[in-house]
Amino acid sequence: MKNELIQLTLMNSELESYHKENRRLKEMLNFTQDKSLNYISANVVNHNFGLPTQSITIDVGKEEGVEKNMTVMDENGLLGKTIQIGDHAALTQLITDKN
Protein backbone atom coordinates (compact mmCIF):
# COMPACT_ATOMS: atom_id res chain seq x y z
CA MET A 1 0.00 0.00 0.00
CA LYS A 2 2.83 2.37 0.87
CA ASN A 3 4.65 1.62 -2.41
CA GLU A 4 1.47 2.27 -4.35
CA LEU A 5 1.03 5.64 -2.63
CA ILE A 6 4.62 6.57 -3.49
CA GLN A 7 4.11 5.58 -7.14
CA LEU A 8 0.88 7.57 -7.37
CA THR A 9 2.55 10.60 -5.80
CA LEU A 10 5.39 10.39 -8.34
CA MET A 11 2.95 10.02 -11.23
CA ASN A 12 0.95 13.01 -10.01
CA SER A 13 4.11 15.09 -9.78
CA GLU A 14 5.08 14.11 -13.32
CA LEU A 15 1.61 15.01 -14.64
CA GLU A 16 1.78 18.40 -12.94
CA SER A 17 5.16 18.98 -14.58
CA TYR A 18 3.74 18.11 -18.02
CA HIS A 19 0.77 20.40 -17.40
CA LYS A 20 3.07 23.32 -16.53
CA GLU A 21 5.25 22.65 -19.57
CA ASN A 22 2.19 22.50 -21.81
CA ARG A 23 0.91 25.82 -20.45
CA ARG A 24 4.35 27.42 -20.89
CA LEU A 25 4.66 26.21 -24.49
CA LYS A 26 1.17 27.47 -25.33
CA GLU A 27 2.08 30.88 -23.93
CA MET A 28 5.29 30.93 -26.00
CA LEU A 29 3.27 30.19 -29.15
CA ASN A 30 0.47 32.60 -28.20
CA PHE A 31 -1.84 29.61 -28.53
CA THR A 32 -5.53 30.10 -27.92
CA GLN A 33 -8.04 27.33 -28.23
CA ASP A 34 -10.85 28.22 -30.59
CA LYS A 35 -13.91 26.82 -28.88
CA SER A 36 -16.05 27.75 -31.87
CA LEU A 37 -14.48 24.99 -33.99
CA ASN A 38 -16.83 22.21 -34.99
CA TYR A 39 -15.55 18.68 -35.43
CA ILE A 40 -17.05 16.03 -37.68
CA SER A 41 -16.16 12.42 -36.87
CA ALA A 42 -15.29 10.22 -39.82
CA ASN A 43 -13.83 6.86 -40.75
CA VAL A 44 -11.31 6.11 -43.47
CA VAL A 45 -12.99 3.88 -46.04
CA ASN A 46 -10.26 3.80 -48.69
CA HIS A 47 -6.64 4.81 -49.17
CA ASN A 48 -4.61 5.45 -52.27
CA PHE A 49 -0.88 5.93 -51.87
CA GLY A 50 -0.13 5.87 -55.60
CA LEU A 51 -0.45 8.36 -58.40
CA PRO A 52 -1.66 10.99 -58.98
CA THR A 53 -2.39 11.88 -55.35
CA GLN A 54 -1.65 10.29 -51.99
CA SER A 55 -5.13 10.33 -50.52
CA ILE A 56 -7.73 8.75 -48.30
CA THR A 57 -11.48 8.68 -48.61
CA ILE A 58 -13.53 9.43 -45.51
CA ASP A 59 -17.16 8.46 -44.98
CA VAL A 60 -18.59 11.97 -44.54
CA GLY A 61 -19.44 14.58 -47.15
CA LYS A 62 -21.70 17.52 -48.00
CA GLU A 63 -24.66 16.10 -46.10
CA GLU A 64 -22.57 15.98 -42.92
CA GLY A 65 -21.22 19.53 -43.38
CA VAL A 66 -17.88 18.80 -45.07
CA GLU A 67 -16.58 21.43 -47.51
CA LYS A 68 -13.63 21.62 -49.90
CA ASN A 69 -10.25 22.52 -48.31
CA MET A 70 -11.32 21.55 -44.79
CA THR A 71 -8.58 20.31 -42.49
CA VAL A 72 -8.57 16.58 -41.73
CA MET A 73 -6.95 15.42 -38.49
CA ASP A 74 -6.58 12.31 -36.38
CA GLU A 75 -5.36 11.73 -32.84
CA ASN A 76 -1.76 12.27 -34.00
CA GLY A 77 -2.35 15.59 -35.74
CA LEU A 78 -2.81 16.89 -39.27
CA LEU A 79 -3.57 14.37 -42.04
CA GLY A 80 -4.46 16.63 -44.95
CA LYS A 81 -7.31 18.57 -46.55
CA THR A 82 -10.48 17.68 -48.38
CA ILE A 83 -10.20 18.09 -52.15
CA GLN A 84 -13.34 16.46 -53.57
CA ILE A 85 -16.66 16.27 -51.75
CA GLY A 86 -19.57 13.94 -52.43
CA ASP A 87 -22.86 13.70 -50.58
CA HIS A 88 -21.54 11.18 -48.04
CA ALA A 89 -17.81 10.90 -48.78
CA ALA A 90 -14.78 13.14 -49.21
CA LEU A 91 -11.43 12.63 -50.88
CA THR A 92 -8.64 13.90 -48.65
CA GLN A 93 -5.21 14.84 -49.98
CA LEU A 94 -2.60 13.77 -47.43
CA ILE A 95 0.12 16.12 -46.23
CA THR A 96 2.65 13.52 -47.42
CA ASP A 97 1.52 14.13 -51.01
CA LYS A 98 4.11 16.09 -53.01
CA ASN A 99 1.53 18.01 -55.05
Would you say 97 and 73 are in contact if contact means Cβ atoms under 8 Å apart? Answer: no
Residues pairing with 82 in the sheet? 92
Would you say 69 and 84 are in contact if contact means Cβ atoms under 8 Å apart? Answer: no
User: Kind of pairing, strands 55-58 and 44-48?
Assistant: antiparallel
The predicted structure's pLDDT at residue 50:
76
For residue 64, the 8-state DSSP code is G
Q: Give, for 13, the enclosing helix (H) or strand (E).
A: helix 2-28
The predicted structure's pLDDT at residue 94:
92
**Local confidence pLDDT in tens for the 99 residues of the chain:** 888 888 989 999 999 999 998 888 878 777 666 767 788 999 999 988 876 789 999 999 999 999 999 999 988 888 999 999 999 999 999 998 887
Q: Give, for 29, the enclosing helix (H) or strand (E).
A: none
What's the CATH architecture for 44-94? Answer: Beta Barrel (2.40)
pTM score, whole prediction: 0.62
